[in-house]
Amino acid sequence: MEKKTIPVIGMACAGCAANVEKRLRQLEGITSANVNFAARTALVEYDPKVITPQTMKEEIAKAGYDLVINENESVEVIEKNSYRHLVKKVITSWILALLTMSISMGWFKIGNANMANQTMLIIALLNIVYCGSQFYTSTLKQLRHGTANMDTLVAMSTFISFAFSVFNTFWGENFWTSRGIDNHTYYDASVMIITFVLTGRTLEERAKKSTASAIRALMELAPKTAHLVNGSNTDDVPISTLGKGDIIEIRQGEKVPVDGKVTSSEAYIDESMITGEPTPVLKTLGDKVFAGTMVKQGKLRFRAEEVGTGTMLAQIIKMVQEAQGSKAPVQRVVDKIALVFVPVVLCLSVLTFILWYAIGGETQLPHAILSAVSVLVIACPCALGLATPTALMVGIGKAARKNILIKDATALENIRKVDALVIDKTGTLTIPNKNIDFTQADNLSLDERETLKPHAREAMGTLQKEGIEVYMMSGDKDEAARYWAEKAGIRHYRSKVLPQDKEDMVKKLQAEGHHVAMVGDGINDTQALAAADVSIAMGKGTDIAMDVAQVTLMGTDLRRIPDAIKLSRSTVSMIKQNLFWAFIYNVICIPLAAGLPFLFGAHWQITPMWASALMAFSSISVVLNSLRLKLIHD
């Protein structure tokens, strides 16, 4: 089985994401598919013997979307071009909208009313054909497959407004006047709906670029070129051309292009992007160097051992991408709602029309049409679809910048529930003295044999202040375990423990009703890590421990544990806020758009034009609210 993050082009709302996800899951050979509307990606696990990315691309294209599977295609370039095209459409649409409004409001006089209406007809048609064509083509593709999305609502509302206005332009005077009803056109509504929706999407795209800034920052750590040693010369080559075994030279102020092992000379390298430690490390013959780290002083040569997707930096980027593309349990409920949301809105719109027509007959026909259109426009599922993934993207990205790698959204959501923490001693809480003479170990003090990690006592104190009880587990003798527990400020400890004892402690605490996190770094911790509700591995530990863990702390700073818990609480709180406002927005606005105030004697309602503005505002507000996470806990 393979797992791959594939960019998706053409999604307009949560309904689109739900449709793409549903279609992917129906394909033979795909075991799981999670589509992230905010990130515009699909995280797919599939059997390459049964299905290929090309087949997925072809199937998704039938539904009106596109998958970027060619690694030579730059998603960034595609998105930049798409954004530029979107900006051009927004500018054009605003010009046409202002022109239409000027004529409609009488600010710009054009002959008689008939001539003014015919002029607005041409302007509105230009707006639909150039600025709004995407809504109509997308709707037709959706209808062919029996689905609907936000584009469907926009296309229907603008078409109804335009068609109703065309009828009134040529036949309205005879039809309505003979019945004693005023004749009006609504070209301005048709134009403004498209204008506001496109404006909202433009602002969303700008805001969403900020939510994905963590990934871009990680990608920018790797240089574009490298100094390849060729005999006595060095040639500057793209890093994509490097292979295992190549000898590469790096100089002061430059970034390491790939992972490798030093073959000659020495240099001080800043590895803070991996370890979190600010002090540069001296690298000499045989030492490992990692892509993205920077030479602070000196110059050296090294042999490439891992290139491309095999480097540690690439693995970190992949982990963050997969985590941002994964879904929290709450998002799965939202996805089910999004899948049926547009059809429900269509039904509500039709019901609104029927009720107003039933109440007032022909005299209420214009009001019934406008109310139905307003419902179509205002009930946008975008805010609902953006509520969870934008908060997750910011939260997981912020964690990555703090050297906390979170494996998936479920882990991020679960960390906040932790109220008991089991922590291994050696290698996790303390650092063994590598220079110790073990023949003289019994004659050395405990401080001369392990050192307590910097900030360990502060981290344990913070956890306990947060109401999280800490339990230290050590294979060491009782005297040593007691000493280090007291030094770290930990009240509960156990000595002479085996791997099974650690797992038993985790299960005992769980049986008592605790939500348990296990922190470890070695093979002997993997049982307990696997059993815990939340598993946390130290980045300098074994690969096995990190594979099992849901969270990996890069470096030795244990303060990242309370940081992760606080960030989890903030992120989940933000998700709840977003979902609350997204739901409240629809609960309040749909009845207002449907004309409910009229039933209570008020003579106002949300018109289609204002409905489109409110819809755009709701989506933007959710994204901006999520971005507030960047300011928390810095």
Residues classed as catalytic: 424
CB 411 within 8 A of CB 536: no
Supply the angle between the helices 560-593 and 329-360 in degrees, to the nearest 10: 10
Q: What whole-number distance in Å separates Cα of residue 332 and Cα of residue 338?
A: 10
- Amino acid identity for residue 374 in this structure: S
Q: How far is CA 420 from the centre of its chain?
A: 29
Residue with token string 């000379």:
265
Between the CA of residue 525 and those of 249, 446, 499, what are the distances in Å?
Answer: 39, 23, 6
For residue 525, the SS3 value is helix
Q: At residue 289, what are phi and psi to the nearest 5 degrees?
A: -125, 150
Which two structure tokens, joined as six digits, stand for 502?
């650690």
Q: What whole-number distance in Å separates Cα of residue 597 and Cα of residue 590?
A: 12
End-to-end CA distance of the chain: 39
Work out the angle at residue 164's Cα, subtended by the Cα atoms of residues 163 and 166, and round it to the nearest 5 degrees. 60
- Amino acid identity for residue 467 in this structure: G
Residue with token string 């797919």:
44
Q: Is 106 exposed, middle or buried (0-12, 13-18, 19+ CB in 10 A)?
A: exposed
Which two structure tokens, joined as six digits, stand for 400?
């990555």
CB 236 within 8 A of CB 248: no
CB 553 within 8 A of CB 560: yes
Which two structure tokens, joined as six digits, stand for 403?
């050297």
Which two structure tokens, joined as six digits, stand for 175?
């039809």
